[in-house]
Amino acid sequence: MVSIKDVARVAGVSNKTVSRVVNKEPNVRPQTIDRVEQVIQQLGYVPNLSARLIRTKRSSTFGVMTDLVTTTPYSGDIMRGVLDWVKENDRTLLTINTDGNPEQEQLAWRTFQEHRIDGVLYVTMYHKEVELRQTVLPTVLVNCQVASTKGLLTPSIVPDDYQGAFDLTRFVLEQGHQRIAYIRLNPELLGAQLRYQAFLDATLGRDDLTIDIRIGMVGPVGREDNRVFAEVTDLITQKSPPEVIICGNDEMALQAFQAVMIRGLRIPEDISIVGFDDFQTISTRLHPPLTTAALPYHALGYQGAMLLESLVKGELSSIKPILLPCPLIRRESTISAFT
Amino acid sequence: MVSIKDVARVAGVSNKTVSRVVNKEPNVRPQTIDRVEQVIQQLGYVPNLSARLIRTKRSSTFGVMTDLVTTTPYSGDIMRGVLDWVKENDRTLLTINTDGNPEQEQLAWRTFQEHRIDGVLYVTMYHKEVELRQTVLPTVLVNCQVASTKGLLTPSIVPDDYQGAFDLTRFVLEQGHQRIAYIRLNPELLGAQLRYQAFLDATLGRDDLTIDIRIGMVGPVGREDNRVFAEVTDLITQKSPPEVIICGNDEMALQAFQAVMIRGLRIPEDISIVGFDDFQTISTRLHPPLTTAALPYHALGYQGAMLLESLVKGELSSIKPILLPCPLIRRESTISAFT
DNA sequence: TTGTATGCGTTATCAC
DNA sequence: GTGATAACGCATACAA
């Protein structure tokens, strides 16, 4: 492989001059620059970042550690966000999948150290609480947060499930609906708890409402027992069925749609349905398309990387978790009760 | 940062001896090994891979270059497959997203060279043909193949869309159906062409069949105009509607399901529906679950990495594209015409 | 404006 | 079995 010395020899200059040209340092005569660049082209010289790292101690590389336990495949957009930031900021990305396994995480930390990574993004594919064993390297949590108070030293960025669900519920109430069904997500998910709590808070003190709460899925994350279809079927065959069904997420909304359609009811004329996530393959492909709240996956990754950069540079002022809004996406699966 | 010299000094041995212990080379006394390992623990020494690379010229790192233009989010499983192989084989992975943009690809190749990557996986998120400008590094194509004959030098691994669609069609015929509708995918997709051709070949010469072919989506990949719902509605309101609808993929099957359900028809009693991809969020969440063919995403990534390893080692005998089967997944959205 | 000497953390060579 | 020393490709300090 051709090195800086080869270039220097052929160009008839010293190593240092080549180095200056490559790194665009000042104080080189334009003619010399030209000549050196010619030789670089001609020999196909490409600088060796590893050699540079030994001297500078800055790898300009971030590591991503992820569990890849996914509830919706769109969470892959987090990675996309990270990759986009990294590309725009001349860094590179080392990715390791640990399946959420502590032993594999241990190995991952070690690998990152061996590569002299500048910082680590600890990414989970669904919003959850984690226990962080070690942070030998500057670390930012993406889509997850530490439970214990001692972990407050690790900055994190998460979606604002509470705000999203609160806005969604308020929207439904503004539509004038009074008989409301709520299908809960797997309580194991942190997002499920936040969304449910927001629903309760947003409906608090409204005694004019009739609220029917069901549990849609239970069991270990990713392999849960799905009861949504049965629950919705039960709901709509009651004497006085709900006017609107709020589903814990879009995947559940898909189930609800089918249960309703098979019964010959129309959406939204007979019953309104809302989801959560804005899982596009579902939300935009349903007839009618789904009113939901969007999880800001791409932004989580992008801003998470940004956050890590400022952490690495020591420019981070506050350490408290950053909440990214989940905007209400209003589509045609909901209708006003007043019309 | 603590280096090999620090360990050597504290342990009272030479650099080389520490190196021997770290790399598990022979010819070191057990006692010496113990002592050195103690000091390594004590000082928290972690070898610097960059420094090692300078000497050995082997980075033990693969690069992944991907366009991330995705038709189904499950294609992320390709990355999962790659990550799994890489983890099991003590390599690390550098990922760059190019959005399929040639200029960004250029930069990506350069970055890989700067890092002295051992080999590159060129991954596309849907099965397509690509033009490869340069392969300065050992490269394997995953989920894509080169169009021109000169590109035959680059090994590739792709799903066998043809086989999958052929088997699926044969399965439908064995069920005894004679009035068949086929909803075509965006013809831009290579998979769409292969699947359609397989359907034609599998039904060739069967004049007892009534075949109705529709185009479900057209336009640029990822932003296409979706006409499936309208086409299926049209199909089933005809005088003699099809007994089975073969959809280009699962996402289209979702549309077909809704069009059929809204009309009050039952699946599969009144009409059978099949998809392609085994896009789980859809295929297992439909009622009834969908008969389809599975795209082997994980295997593409996993075996692609394997392929790259043998290419790098110079052990690759044949260069012709590897086809991975798309197995038939038989679920309840289809029924025999004889019952 | 340019060059020389030295050091980074590791492995390779060869001598002891 | 073990160690001294050179070498890898580059950057830094300093000299010219």
Torsion (CA) B121, B125, B126, B129 in degrees, nearest 10:
-40
The reply to whether residue A54 touches residue B48, judged by beta carbons under 8 angstroms, is: yes
Which residue approaches C9 most closely, CA to C1'?
A: B51
Structural tokens at position A203? 């409906």
Size of interface A-B (CB pairs under 8 A): 137
For strand D, is any atom closer than 7 Å to the CB of B91? no
Structural tokens at position A296? 């800001």
The reply to whether residue A258 touches residue B287, judged by beta carbons under 8 angstroms, is: yes
Of chain A residues 33-62, which have a beta carbon within 7 Å of strand C? 51, 54-55
Chain B residue numbers with beta carbons less than 8 Å from the beta carbon of A281 are 72-73, 251, 254, 279, 281-282
Chain B residue numbers with beta carbons less than 8 Å from the beta carbon of A279 are 281
CA A45, C1' C7: Å apart? Answer: 24
User: pLDDT tens for residues B12-53?
Assistant: 999 999 999 999 998 889 999 999 999 999 999 999 999 999
For strand C, is any atom closer than 7 Å to the CB of A32? yes
Report which of B182, B167, B147, B126 is spatially closest to residue B300, judged by C-alpha positions.
B126
Q: pLDDT tens digits for chain A (339 residues)? A: 899 999 999 999 999 999 999 999 888 899 999 999 999 999 999 999 999 999 998 899 999 999 876 656 677 889 999 999 999 999 999 999 998 899 999 999 999 999 999 999 999 988 999 888 767 899 999 999 988 666 567 899 999 999 999 999 999 999 999 999 999 999 989 999 999 999 999 999 999 999 999 999 988 887 888 899 999 999 999 999 999 999 999 999 999 999 999 999 999 999 999 999 999 999 999 999 999 999 999 999 999 999 999 999 988 878 889 999 999 999 999 999 887
pTM for the model? 0.94
Helix H or strand E encompassing B201: helix B190-203
DSSP lists the bridge partners of residue B130 as B146
B24-38 b/e (C-beta count within 10 Å ≥ 16 → b)? eeeebeeebeebbbe
Q: Is there a contact between A65 and A122 (Cβ–Cβ < 8 Å)?
A: yes
pLDDT over 80 (residue B68): no
For strand D, is any atom closer than 7 Å to the CB of B43? no
Tokens 């279809």 -> residue: A229
The reply to whether residue A116 touches residue B76, judged by beta carbons under 8 angstroms, is: no
Q: Is there a contact between A107 and A134 (Cβ–Cβ < 8 Å)?
A: no
Burial class (CB in 10 A: 0-12, 13-18, 19+), B224: middle
For strand D, is any atom closer than 7 Å to the CB of A27? no
Nearest-angstrom CA–CA distance, A264 and A287:
14
**B186 DSSP 8-state letter:** P
Report which of A96, A103, A75 is spatially closest to residue B80, judged by C-alpha positions.
A96
Residue A316 confidence (pLDDT): 83
Residue B305 confidence (pLDDT): 98
- Contacts (Cβ under 8 Å, ≥6 apart) of A133: A102, A105, A106
CA B14, C1' C16: Å apart? Answer: 14
Report which of A158, A141, A153, A156 is spatially closest to residue A65, judged by C-alpha positions.
A141
Chain B residue numbers with beta carbons less than 8 Å from the beta carbon of A229 are 287
SS3 B74: helix
**B290 DSSP 8-state letter:** P
Nearest-angstrom CA–CA distance, A65 and A107:
11
SS3 B62: strand
Nearest by CB to residue A46, choosing from B93, B113, B257, is B113
For strand D, is any atom closer than 7 Å to the CB of B23? no
Report which of B107, B123, B104 is spatially closest to residue B62, judged by C-alpha positions.
B123
Tokens 């009739």 -> residue: A210
The reply to whether residue B68 touches residue A83, judged by beta carbons under 8 angstroms, is: yes
| Cα A12 from chain centroid (whole Å) | 52
* Cα-Cα-Cα-Cα dihedral sign, residues A198, A199, A201, A202: positive
The reply to whether residue A94 touches residue B96, judged by beta carbons under 8 angstroms, is: no
Distance from CA of B90 to the nearest CA of A (A): 10
Residue B153 confidence (pLDDT): 78
pLDDT over 80 (residue B339): no
Helix axes A30-43, A15-22, angle to 10 degrees: 90
Nearest-angstrom CA–CA distance, A325 and B309:
43
Of chain A residues 235-274, which have a beta carbon within 7 Å of strand D? none
For strand C, is any atom closer than 7 Å to the CB of B16? yes
User: CA-based angle A185:A188:A190, to the nearest 5?
Assistant: 80
Chain B residue numbers with beta carbons less than 8 Å from the beta carbon of A73 are 72-74, 76, 281
For strand D, is any atom closer than 7 Å to the CB of A58? no
The reply to whether residue A94 touches residue B92, judged by beta carbons under 8 angstroms, is: yes
Residue to substitute from B67, B116, B281, interface A, most A β-carbons within 10 A: B281
In this structure, are strands A61-66 and A119-130 parallel, antiparallel, or unpaired?
Answer: parallel
Structural tokens at position B198? 């397989």
For strand D, is any atom closer than 7 Å to the CB of A23? yes
Half-sphere exposure of residue B237: CA atoms within 13 angstroms, side-chain side: 10
Beginning with the edge strand found earlier in the chain, give each strand of the sheet holding A210-215 in spatial order.
Answer: A210-215, A179-184, A244-247, A272-274
Q: Is there a contact between A226 and A192 (Cβ–Cβ < 8 Å)?
A: no
Nearest by CB to residue B92, choosing from A115, A257, A262, is A115
DSSP lists the bridge partners of residue A159 as A324
Burial class (CB in 10 A: 0-12, 13-18, 19+), B278: buried
3-state secondary structure chain A: CCCHHHHHHHHCCCHHHHHHHHCCCCCCCHHHHHHHHHHHHHHCCCCCHHHHHHHHCCCCEEEEEECCCCCCHHHHHHHHHHHHHHHHCCCEEEEEECCCCHHHHHHHHHHHHHCCCCEEEEEEEEEEEECCCCCCCCEEEEEEEECCCHHHHCCEEEECHHHHHHHHHHHHHHCCCCEEEEEECCCCCHHHHHHHHHHHHHHCCCCCCEEEEEECEECCCCCCEECHHHHHHHHHCCCCCCCEEEECCHHHHHHHHHHHHHCCCCCCCCCEEECCECCHHHHCCCCCCCEEEECCHHHHHHHHHHHHHHHHCCCCCCCCCEEECCCEECCCCCCCCCC
Residue A42 confidence (pLDDT): 93
User: pLDDT tens for residues B310-334?
Assistant: 999 988 878 889 999 999 999 999 9
Nucleotides of D under 7 A from a protein CB: 1-13
SS3 B320: coil
The alpha-carbon radius of gyration of chain B (Å, integer) is: 26
pLDDT over 70 (residue B272): yes
User: pLDDT tens for residues B216-259?
Assistant: 998 888 788 889 999 999 999 999 999 999 999 999 999 999 99
Peptide bond into A102 cis (omega under 30): no
Nearest-angstrom CA–CA distance, B14 and B59:
25
Distance from CA of A128 to the nearest CA of B (A): 21
Mean pLDDT across B281-308? 96
Distance from CA of B96 to the nearest CA of A (A): 7
State the amino acid at position B97 in one-letter form.
N
